[in-house]
């Protein structure tokens, strides 16, 4: 299992440069639509940042449909080489109380992998 603190320490400023715009986009989409479909980024070993989205091609898409497409696109980029890290953002409604019975609150989650 990847130690997230060690990953953050290693990527440092590059991670912050990549995550900031991704959180801003997610916040914008939550304000506009109440949620967003999964999207991600790639941090190239050169320090360049690219953004990645996926589509199932369906008119009305869901996270369940888009997430595997996005993961496959990121895997393909990794196989091409030169990728240092790839965070993926997802949206969900989180229960606000510890017992899971409170009202739903829109939230974002980021998972980051390093190569």
Does position 51 have pLDDT exceeding 70, yes or no? yes
Phi, psi of 39 (to 5 degrees): -150, 170
Query: pLDDT exceeding 70 applies to what percent of the chain?
Result: 70
Residues 5-23 pLDDT 10s: 776 676 667 777 777 888 8
Distance separating alpha carbons of residues 44 and 82, to the nearest angstrom:
5
Residues 77-111 pLDDT 10s: 888 888 887 888 887 666 555 655 666 666 666 66
Contact 52, 73 (CB under 8 A): yes
Contact 1, 112 (CB under 8 A): no
DSSP assignment letter at 59: S
In this prediction the pTM is 0.67
Contact 93, 106 (CB under 8 A): yes
């Amino acid at each position: 299992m990847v130690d997230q603190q060690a990953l953050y320490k290693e990527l440092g400023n590059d991670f912050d440069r990549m995550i900031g715009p991704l959180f801003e986009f997610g916040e914008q989409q939550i304000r506009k639509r109440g949620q967003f479909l999964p999207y991600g980024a790639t941090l190239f070993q050169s320090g360049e940042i690219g953004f990645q989205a996926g589509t199932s091609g369906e008119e009305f898409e869901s996270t369940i449909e888009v997430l595997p497409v996005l993961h496959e696109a990121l895997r393909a980029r990794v196989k091409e080489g030169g990728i240092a890290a790839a965070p993926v953002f997802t949206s969900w409604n989180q229960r606000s109380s510890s017992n899971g019975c409170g009202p739903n609150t829109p939230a974002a989650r980021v998972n980051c992998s390093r190569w």
